[in-house]
C-alpha cells in the first residue's frame, strides 16, 4: 500500500502486488500460462531426443553392415576353401538376392554349355537373365572371377552386357541383361512369324560387328569358340547381340572334347576342334559362316532323323537335286550349299518365304 499526497491536501492510496512479473509492454504475466508451454515443449524435446538416438543407431547399424560386406567381399568366395582378391569385378549379388529375383530359379529360358539360364526381376523391376554355372572344376573356379572381371569391362552394342555375378556358397552365377526376343534359333526355326529378308540382314550384320569387336576391338583378343544361333540373342527391333563370350577360357585345350560334347555344337565346329590345330579367331569365322547359311536358308545345317531306307535305295538323281534326305538319316545342308555354289544356283539356298523379296 502506498500513500500519496495531492495538491489539495487529500491522500491517495495505491494498491500494489508484490513480485508480479512485468512484460515488455508494462503488463503482468499470468502464471497459469507456464503450464501449457511446458506441456508442449517437453514432449517435443523427448521426440527430438529419441529421433536423434534412432538416427545414431541406424548409422551405426549401417556402418556395421558395410564393414561386414567389405569383409565378405575381401574374404574367400569359396567360403573358406580358397582365398583370392581380383580387381575390376562387376556388381556382386548375394545368392539370396538372385533366389528372390528368379523366384527360386523358377522360369528357365535356356540351357547352355556351362549351365542353365533363368529369367529374373530385380527390385527396381529390371529384367535380367541369370546363368547358373555348372561343369567347372577347381581350376575353372579359380579362373572364374578373373574371366568375369575381363568380361564385365567389355562393352559393345552387339554384345550382351554382363551386369553382375555371384560367387557364394559354392554357387556361381552370372547376371546378364535380358533380351526380350530370345535366341536366334527360336526366332529362325520356331513357329512364330517368318523373318523378313531385311531383318535377317540386320541380324547378320549385328552379329558380325559383335564378333569383329571380340577379335580386334578388345585389349586382348577373345575367341568365342561356340558361335551358333543359340548364342546370338535378339532385343527390340531384332538387334543382335552375342552372348557367352569369354567363358571358353575356363576350359583348357585338353578339355576341348568335353567342351564339344557338352555344348552340343554339331554343325558349327571348325576342323580345328577335331584336330590338334591351334584354335584361333578363324574358328569363330567358320562357325559364323555356318550361322549365315542358316539365316539365309531358314533351316538348320545339321538334322538327324530316323533312317527309313538304306542309302542304296536312294537314286543318284535325287541326291544331285536336293540335300541329303531323311532316308539317309542325316541332313547336312552345307554339302548341298557347296553343290549349289558349284552350279551357280544360289537362289536355291534362300528361304522360300524370302525369295520374292
Q: Which residues participate in catalysis according to the annotation? A: 226
Q: What CA–CA distance (Å, rounded) separates 344 from 357?
A: 20
Strand 115-121 to strand 127-133: parallel, antiparallel, or no bridges (unpaired)?
A: antiparallel
Cβ-contact 237, 225 below 8 angstroms: no
Cβ-contact 240, 227 below 8 angstroms: no
Strand 2-5 to strand 11-14: parallel, antiparallel, or no bridges (unpaired)?
A: antiparallel
CA separation, residue 128 to residues 119, 154, 274, 315 (Å): 6, 18, 36, 52
Q: What CA–CA distance (Å, rounded) separates 40 from 49?
A: 15
At residue 326, the 3 state secondary structure works out as helix
Tally of helices (H runs) and strands (E runs) in the chain:
9, 12
- Could you tell me which residues come within 8 angstroms of residue 1 by beta carbon, excluding any fewer than 6 positions away? 13, 14, 15, 16
Grid coordinates representing 252 are: 583348357
Instruction: Say if residue 131 carries a ligand binding annotation.
Output: yes
Task: Extract the runs of DSSP E, i.e. beta strands, from the chain.
Answer: 2-5, 11-14, 91-92, 108-111, 115-121, 127-133, 162-168, 171-177, 232-234, 240-242, 302-304, 330-332
CA separation, residue 225 to residues 259, 277, 286, 319 (Å): 10, 14, 10, 32
Residue numbers belonging to the annotated binding site for ATP: 131
Amino acid at each position: 500500500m502506498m500513500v500519496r499526497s495531492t495538491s489539495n491536501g487529500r491522500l491517495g492510496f495505491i494498491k500494489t502486488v508484490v513480485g508480479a512479473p512485468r512484460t515488455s509492454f508494462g503488463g503482468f504475466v499470468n502464471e497459469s500460462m507456464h503450464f501449457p508451454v511446458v506441456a508442449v515443449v517437453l514432449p517435443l524435446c523427448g521426440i527430438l531426443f529419441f529421433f536423434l538416438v534412432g538416427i545414431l543407431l541406424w548409422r551405426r547399424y549401417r556402418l556395421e553392415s558395410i564393414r561386414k560386406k567389405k569383409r565378405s567381399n575381401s574374404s574367400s568366395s569359396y567360403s573358406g576353401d580358397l582365398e583370392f582378391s581380383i580387381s575390376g569385378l562387376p556388381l556382386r549379388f548375394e545368392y539370396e538376392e538372385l533366389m528372390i529375383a528368379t523366384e527360386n530359379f523358377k522360369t528357365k529360358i535356356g540351357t547352355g554349355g556351362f549351365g542353365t539360364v533363368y529369367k529374373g526381376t530385380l527390385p527396381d523391376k529390371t529384367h535380367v537373365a541369370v546363368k547358373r554355372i555348372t561343369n567347372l572344376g577347381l581350376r575353372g573356379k579359380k579362373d572364374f572371377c578373373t574371366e568375369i572381371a575381363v568380361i564385365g569391362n567389355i562393352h559393345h552394342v552387339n554384345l550382351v552386357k554382363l551386369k553382375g555375378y555371384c560367387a557364394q556358397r559354392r554357387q556361381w552365377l552370372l547376371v546378364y541383361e535380358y533380351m526380350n526376343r530370345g535366341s536366334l534359333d527360336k526366332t529362325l526355326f520356331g513357329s512364330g512369324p517368318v523373318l523378313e529378308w531385311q531383318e535377317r540382314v540386320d541380324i547378320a550384320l549385328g552379329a558380325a560387328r559383335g564378333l569383329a569387336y571380340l577379335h580386334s576391338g578388345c585389349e586382348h583378343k577373345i575367341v568365342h569358340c561356340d558361335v551358333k544361333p543359340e548364342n546370338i540373342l535378339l532385343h527390340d527391333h531384332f538387334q543382335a547381340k552375342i552372348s557367352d563370350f569369354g567363358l571358353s577360357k575356363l576350359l583348357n585345350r585338353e578339355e576341348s572334347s568335353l567342351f564339344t560334347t557338352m555344348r552340343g555344337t554339331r554343325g558349327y565346329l571348325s576342323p580345328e576342334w577335331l584336330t590338334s590345330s591351334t584354335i584361333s579367331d578363324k574358328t569363330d569365322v567358320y562357325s559364323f559362316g555356318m550361322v549365315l547359311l542358316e539365316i539365309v536358308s531358314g533351316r538348320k545345317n545339321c538334322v538327324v532323323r530316323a533312317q527309313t531306307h538304306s542309302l542304296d535305295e536312294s537314286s543318284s538323281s535325287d541326291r544331285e537335286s536336293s540335300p541329303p534326305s531323311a532316308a539317309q538319316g542325316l541332313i547336312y545342308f552345307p554339302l548341298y550349299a557347296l553343290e549349289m555354289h558349284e552350279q551357280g544356283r544360289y537362289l536355291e539356298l534362300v528361304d522360300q518365304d524370302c525369295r520374292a523379296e
